[in-house]
Amino acid sequence: MAYLDAASTEPLHPAARDALLAAIDAGWADPARLYGTARRAQMLLERARGEVAELIGARPDEVSFTSSGTQAVHLGVLGTLAGRRRAGTRLVTGAVEHSSVLHAGEVHEHAGGEMEIVGVSRTGRVDAGAFAESVARPGTALACLQTANHEVGTLQPVEEAARACREAGVPLLVDAAQSAGRLPIPEGWSVLTASAHKWGGPAGVGVLAVRKGVRWRSPLPEDERERRRVPGFENVPAIVAAAAALRARSEEAQAEGRRLSALVDRIRAEVPRLVPDVEVVGDPVLRLPHLVTFSCLYVEGEALLTELDKAGFAVSSGSSCTASTLRPSHVLEAMGVLTHGNVRVSLPRGASEDDIDRFLAVLPDIVRRIRSSLGVH
């Protein structure tokens, strides 16, 4: 099986595995207690916090660990809105943000707040001018923008948005889930969220960083853990492994990013040449190094993924119009691109040229067979 779904979750990095196994033995105790084993766990936790802080460009006391990237986003969005209630109730966000941002916005709306969604170009990039205009309107409490899109890979204009937010006196939450460990963290964020399993750490660890001076109040019942930001017992071994993986991925990022980007360029060029009626979506240049998405007309995404799975490829889709949702991806809809037969290929660390050769060899016949079964020739 060729695993090509790193945007969903990256396989555990060897550095994370080694750190996890060591920390299970050394860091199992309650880091809030005062005896020796607890102090050892506390030391491991704070060392990991310092390492993550250094790698994302934060102070250690600004960083908290959550149980997931989604929880980090929910706490980041709702906590900043709660802390800035006197400043206003407007939330500004891009149309292609991760569902965790949009769902937090819906909760805010149900509580009487307002969410303004800024549109994107056909490549999935937020209109920086429209974003700046929206942020400057009176009563804006928070703006949210991802570093890069999780479905099509397009990089967002974070630094331009950060300048606009700074001029308007509005904090900017940046969701770095897809880019942390792969690309440098952009400057100018007020609140930063990320997810360890996206960079090769274990699942169950998210990062929430809140800059000093940003008003933030927990939307959850108070708990003394994680600077009173995140309730519940810290998973110290997983946090240690997450920090080790982020360090290792960051050191590899430049060379591995170049290698994976060349493989993605090949997929972007070859798929439309080999398969008729295909649209490759997302920005061809301003993009993540490891991710490419394309859509095939006259093909159901679910059928395509099933056939690719049978052929030995694990990929995902943003257009799963399944019986449970009956809706295509909100990202592809916002971009105004083809939503049928959508395939997202996202290359993990170590993905081989042979995997891509084989993928390009089997894809045309799979698409042809699915189209033939529907009477499309």
Residues catalogued as catalytic: 321
Q: Which of 248, 241, 247 lies closest to 27, judged by CA?
A: 241
CA dihedral 139, 128, 115, 89 (to 10 degrees): -20
Q: Which of 204, 199, 241, 240 lies closest to 349, judged by CA?
A: 199
3-state helix, strand, coil in the chain (%, to 5): 45, 15, 40
Judge contact between 93 and 101, C-beta under 8 A. yes
Reported for 230-233, long-range contacts at CB under 8 A and 24+ positions apart, including other chains, are 230/64, 230/65, 230/66, 230/67, 230/71, 230/75, 232/67, 233/30
Structure tokens at 9: 């979750």
